[in-house]
Structure 1
Amino acid sequence: MKFITIIPAYNEEKAIKSVVRCALKYSDVLVVDDGSSDNTYNLAKSAGAKIVKHEKNMGKGAAIKSGIKKALNNDYDALILLDGDGQHNPDCIPSFISNMDSNELVIGSRFINGTPENMPVGRKLSNKITTNLIKFVTGYRLTDSQSGFRAISRDAAGLFLDIKYDDYVYESEMIYKASEHEIKVSEAPIPCTYGDEKSYVTKVHALKYILFIIGLLGRKFKIRVVGSPINANKNYE
């Protein structure tokens, strides 16, 4: 099976070189530089990554879609998504690859083996609330809906190109889109390192995410009223 690791990156010069070099041990690597103003592009290229460059910052979802398009045009069988800030350990890639034999979407979970002690309290709380809402709407038994460390089969990847969101909402909408098409989803345990990295999630992003969640609940209500092909009792673990 031919894999590629896609790394959406925005001003990640601090960690991008080491992340790329580690990921290259397991697969080809594509960095989507989402309009960085620092040295992310040059460092990723010098580390051996293929590069897609956005001339301006378009959002994480837009970067992921650009990476998926590039991968599908180059005949890869499956795609790994991971962040470029060093929080995700590329040495976990083999566990994702092994899970792809029977799943179309594998999500890295920081909570399967217990709550990470070094995760900020605010992130723990927001992740728990959001994950429970995503579980309610989709029927998937997830522990970490907000993880950006994922593996996607080629067949499933094409379904995620028409998602309208270009920001962080994109990753949650991926899960909903998967449920619409009854895609088999599982989780793989991952460690996660938190340091002094800067968060690019603003108050505007948070508000948009709240509106997105309200919209998801509205879809769930509509499903109960008029019916839907989504099977709310799916158990994909």
Structure 2
Amino acid sequence: MLKVEAIQAGYGDINILWDVSLSVEKGQFTTIIGTNGAGKTTLLRAIMGLIPLKTGAIRLEGTDISRYETWDMNERGLCLIPEGRMVFREMSVEENLMMGAYPQKSRANAKQNLESVYARFPRLKERYKQLAGSLSGGESQMLAMGRGLMSEPDIILIDEPSLGLAPVIVNDIFDILRGLKDEGKTIVLVEQNTHRSVEMADHVYLMQSGKVILSQNAADVDLDALHDLYFAR
């Protein structure tokens, strides 16, 4: 469904990704783990067209999307739920959610999808008139996820959803991710919580210094060996 083929990318003259390749199948939950600076966020940004490729290709259903603009990606079924939430702080919860329905393909079902998001995130329903900037960290993460789901994505890219959240909220976020997986959603999760993310995954990639150093079915992953690689022991 989604194939990243030997890409190199970075920021200006600084290269971050070095010949990175990975594959995501339809309905698969893929986890990408690694320490800070491993290139995980840069990889998601490259997939979404936020930074240009220097070499390689990104293919969606066989079509090379490497040169497409970021604003075209939603129309093609890709959605990025970014690190740090990045909600529109001066807009209400509901206005934020409706921004997620901006792509042409999802506008007709906006009201129906809004009710679906409220059913999945009851706390957002309670706060639908509240300014997004007044939400807690966990509520902001739920809002960012709900906004992404409003675009009816075929592939959901999620960057560090548990970052900076209290353990009880982290449990809620992973319960939501579990529900999305059970519904057959195609998910690519970037996460540093190795236990939780590997437990949920179908396939695991480990990145280090801008390279993929491990690609393995989640069922075959030895966490002790994974942590040895993770911490470069």
Alignment TM-score > 0.5, same fold: no
Higher relative CO (CA 8 A, sep ≥ 6), structure 1 or 2? 2
Say which structure is richer in strand: 2
| TM-score normalized by the length of structure 2 | 0.31
| TM-score normalized by the length of structure 1 | 0.30
